[in-house]
Each structure stands twice: as structure tokens, then as C-alpha cells.
Amino acid sequence: MRAITLIAVALLLAACTRGLIDYSAPGGERWRISSPSDPTKPATFVRSPDGTVSISTGAQQEQTPAMIAAGKAWYSYAIGALVILAGVGLLVGKAFFPLIPTSAGTYTMLAGGAVIVLATVSVSIPWWAWLIAAGAGAAIILPGVWANKKSQTAAPAAGAT
């Protein structure tokens, strides 16, 4: 009964604190209990032929879909940053291509920022859904670019006869 109590207390202490517990019993039996550096590793109990017992505690943490998605959230941050850079490129490109509306760059940058914010808020949405949303945003912006192009080519130049 005393050994079971000792094991229970040692496991509890090792699970709650990071470190090492060494115990030598009066009969020569030695207990060594250590907590692993990664607390998600499974617990181990090893008794060697010389009577030494080594116990390592840890808990295997279940991976939920939200935890898996949180680990892959960097995809969304990268996509958002690329969309913001595309918006900056559109604003810079307006100096060389006047057909690009100013709102295209602004809305594109806002869409990239929204991707980053939404990826932070709701990490359970898969990265490919963000790509679809970025494509939908482009589908909203591109018709304005085409309409602007048509209106500038259809209008006669000032002073033309």
C-alpha cells in the first residue's frame, strides 16, 4: 500500500512540475521519476533488471480539427500578406497604367487585411477557403477595371476633331 501511495504521489508531483524526483527505498530499491521536456509525450514506466524503476509522466493531447487548423494558420497569413502586396502593386501600377482604378488597390489591400484578421479569429476555416475568398474578391474588382478601360477607350480625346 505504501508503494502505491508513493507512486501516486510521485506521478502527481512529476506531472505538475517539471523536474526530477529521486527516491531510494530502505531496502535498496531506487525510484527515479522525471517529467519529459514535452508534456504531450505519453507516460512511461520502466523497471530495469537491477530493480531501478524509471517513470516519465506526460499526457498525450488529442488533436482537434481546430488545433490542426491553428497549426496551419500561417498559410492564411502568407496569403493575406501576398494579397496586400498585390494591392500595393496595383496602387503603384496606377502611375504607369491609368486604367487601373484607385479603388482596386485599396480594396485589394483591405481584402488582404481581412484575410489575416479572419484567419486569426477563426482558425478552423481551411486555407483553401481563403483562396476562394480571394478569388471572389478579384472577381468583384476586375469588372471595374474592364469598365474603366472601356469608358476611357470609348470617350474621344479632349480637343480631337
pLDDT tens track for 89-145? 999 998 898 888 888 888 899 989 988 888 777 766 677 887 898 888 888 888 887
The pTM of the full predicted model, rounded to 2 decimals, is: 0.43
- Higher local confidence (pLDDT), 155 or 37: 37
160 against 47, higher pLDDT: 47
Q: Quickly count: other Cβ atoms within 10 Å of residue 55's Cβ.
A: 19
What does the buried/exposed string (b/e) look like for 69-91 if buried means 16 or more CB atoms within 10 Å of the residue's CB? Answer: beeebeebeebbeebbebbeebe
Amino acid, res. 88: V
Q: Which of 79, 70, 68, 83 is nearest to 122 (CA)?
A: 70
Asked if 95 and 60 touch (Cβ cutoff 8 Å), the reply is no
CB-count burial class (<10 Å; 0-12, 13-18, 19+) for 32: middle
Instruction: Decide: helix, strand or coil at residue 56.
Output: strand
